[in-house]
Structure 1
Amino acid sequence: VVQAFFPGEEGGTALARIISGAAEPSGRLPVSIPRQVGGQPGTYLHSALGGHTDWSSVDPTPLFPFGHGLSWTSFTCSDLSVDPVAPTDGAVSVAVTVRNVGEVAGTEVVQLYLSDPEASVVRPLRWLAGFGRVELRPGEAARITFSVHADRTSFTGVDLRRRVESGVIGVAVGRSSGDLPLQGSFTLRGPVRHPAADRVLSVPVEIVPVP
């Protein structure tokens, strides 16, 4: 199945190249695809309650989750490393190793998600914080390191001011919002901080080949 959305006037050529194998499908879904005809096109940015089924007859589990996408080859992610502690105005490093375990070259999009179970307001179960796109030949591996500033955990509080709070932040890394085999966490310490409009929104990624 190829989801092309609105591919434009060169869409036919692009689809033909993908289906024939001349090009690699390496895109990822920017939405979740409902499992049932009556399912709602919900976002993956739901609270913990949003994943419950006791208040609805419709299973909210998507057929294809946000971030999903396949390739002509297979990849593994392993060796998660997370800095344990950072100040509320600092940053942490999150690193994983991705390897092409298939028989052809391919491109993987390693996705980093964060969660904040201790926030003073209800927050999404998880949100996409960054991603790293890497091309690997069969058997090749790379170490992907994300630099995550505390500003990426900020949210709007009950006083309508953006804030960074101390507490445990969950980390999950994988291939989509529904496929996150690597789990960890780090702790933010320090006073509540109110980042300004110039808050850090980017998550720089370093990719280094490994044996």
Structure 2
Amino acid sequence: SPPPDVEFESAVELAAAADAVVVVVGTSDRAESEGVDRTGLALPEGQDELVRRVAAVNPRTVVVVNAGAPVALPWRDEVAAVLLSWFPGQEFGAALADVLLGRAEPGGRLPTTWPDRAEDCPVLSVTPVDGALDYAEGVHLGYRGWARRDGPAPAYPFGHGLGYTTWSYEALDATAVVRAGESAQVNVTVRNTGARPGRTVVQAYLSRPSSGVERPALWLAGFAAVDAAAGQAVTVPVRLTGRVFEHWRPAAAGADAGWLAEPGAFELRVGPSSASLPLGTTLLVTVDD
């Protein structure tokens, strides 16, 4: 095959002459696999340079990221769009064409937080020392760790995802009092404010700033997908199980280990991602004597 510099020049030349460009980047089993830890978050083998050189000659560049876990995207503000495909199967080509051409909605939402830079991560070192790994973050792992710290925001927060339309969050209705161990139902009204049908995922998070036990700054309590036509408002129920209000109590003198509800006020916030929660209310959890 031609040397890398020749391939780069060819890609740039083709991109400059094209109406639009699709660049597929990502990892492989050489970079990430079961039982193998990555040494960093950067895309391997000069892919960042490829994206930047192509985007420099064609502003209509779409980058498809084919990876199984978060990677750094230092060029994300230099391209027209970024599409995360994960590790797709044999119908990847047909599915990608449907999404890029607008025949299908890219309706997924991130189950992980994607940092702008690796060094921004609340937890970065996961290498055991003397055969042991200290999980010092405790309950504050993943997006929960990001939510409790002051510092740079992630590139893409937990729960983030866009489609081919836009949404507004208009109303939140929830039962004010919840008995411990019982579920609560929250009704959220969202409106499709774009020009075509679409799908969004309504996400509900809980927090409790004043608590007698250590808790995350916020935690995902429930979610629901909703489809709506252009301009349509839809009210979607989001169920919060009794467990999301509980914490784990380790075994102690005179008490068995188990899940326990702490009575009092919990703050409920709702929105399209963990970093965008425009609606809110207070739920009061009561415990029978």
Q: TM-score, normalized by length of structure 1?
A: 0.80
Greater strand content: 1
Q: Does the CA-based 8 Å contact 1:26-1:71 persist in structure 2?
A: yes
Q: Does the CA-based 8 Å contact 2:261-2:287 persist in structure 1?
A: no
**2:104 aligned residue (23, 31, 34):** 23
Matches within 5 A, 1:36-115: 36-40=117-121, 43-46=142-145, 50-53=148-151, 59=152, 61-115=153-207
**Within 1, Cα distance between the matches of 2:274 and 2:223?**
12
- The equivalent of 2:83 in structure 1 is 2
Greater helix content: 2
Structure 2, gaps ≥5 residues long: 1-81, 124-141, 252-256
**Within 1, Cα distance between the matches of 2:282 and 2:203?**
15
If you compute each CA radius of gyration, which structure gives the higher value, 1 or 2? Answer: 2
Matches within 5 A, 1:143-182: 143-159=235-251, 160-182=257-279
- The equivalent of 2:284 in structure 1 is 187
SS of alignment partner, residue 213 of structure 2: coil
Structure number with greater CO (CA < 8 Å, separation at least 6) is 1
Percent identity between the aligned chains? 36
Paired residue total: 185
SS of alignment partner, residue 145 of structure 1: strand
Structure 1, gaps ≥5 residues long: 54-58, 193-211
Q: Does the CA-based 8 Å contact 2:172-2:279 persist in structure 1?
A: yes
Q: TM-score, normalized by length of structure 2?
A: 0.59
